[in-house]
Chains A and B, each alone.
Chain A
Amino acid sequence: RKEVEQDPGPFNVPEGATVAFNCTYSNSASQSFFWYRQDCRKEPKLLMSVYSSGNEDGRFTAQLNRASQYISLLIRDSKLSDSATYLCVVQFSGSARQLTFGSGTQLTVLP
């Protein structure tokens, strides 16, 4: 079983739609959680950190459920520019700042 699992998609949604991505992680002793975004043939870039209380950045909302070992990302009012692969990332405790990446969920926003 992978340590960080994501639905690979692809998710094809129309502009303006709301889309949600889920991610589960296997190690309960996890410390930090992130969503990264990766455009085609580009490097990953931090989208947002995920906090236990949940956090929002404009159209993006991230949630963390430690009891269920589950992370989510919600994108409201999708834009064409949101088309990318979204990577769920977990830092496990005691791992010297090592991050474990999910395989990513591919999103295409259609006009």
Chain B
Amino acid sequence: DAGITQSPRHKVTETGTPVTLRCHQTENHRYMYWYRQDPGHGLRLIHYSYGVKDTDKGEVSDGYSVSRSKTEDFLLTLESATSSQTSVYFCAISESEGTDTQYFGPGTRLTVL
């Protein structure tokens, strides 16, 4: 299994509070991604990174920001959490060249009350 961890694994928070989710990899892969998964929608891309300090928006980026100051860490921040952001969040990584396979972390289950 690819070396990807996510923290926290579970979080319950209240509307309006800031939340930061962390993705950590030990594979030295260039690309990192944040997805959310909701019933009936499949996985949807929030933001992705193609290198340190290089990030771009995905399909559902509103209300989210990201940062990548080191190759191994990709942070997802909800500046002011809303109930619509209750979801399961997955981080993924892929190698820099020659492959499009993405490997996923175990996920973070976030509940916003």
Partner-B contacts on A (CB < 8 A): 4, 31-32, 34, 42-46, 49, 87, 91, 96-99, 101-104
Contact = CB atoms under 8 A, between A and B. Distances in A.
A44 B104 contact: yes
Contacts of A43: 90, 104-107
B42 A97 contact: no
Interface of B: 31, 33, 35, 40-45, 48, 50, 56, 58, 90, 94, 100-107
A103 B106 contact: no
Contacts of B106: 42-43
B101 A96 contact: no
Interface of A is mostly: strand
Most chain A Cβ neighbours within 10 Å, of B48, B103, B104: B104
Contacts of A97: 31, 48, 50, 94, 100
B40 A96 contact: no
B42 A104 contact: yes
A98 B48 contact: yes
Contacts of A4: 42
Given A43-B106, A45-B104, A96 B50 contact: yes
7 contacts: A34-B101, A44-B43, A97-B48, A97-B50, A97-B100, A99-B100, A101-B43
A104 B44 CA distance: 13
B100 A96 contact: no
Contact of B45 (A42, A44, A87, A98): A98
Contacts of B43: 44, 87, 101
A103 B100 contact: no
Nearest to B50: A96
Contacts of A98: 33, 45, 48, 58
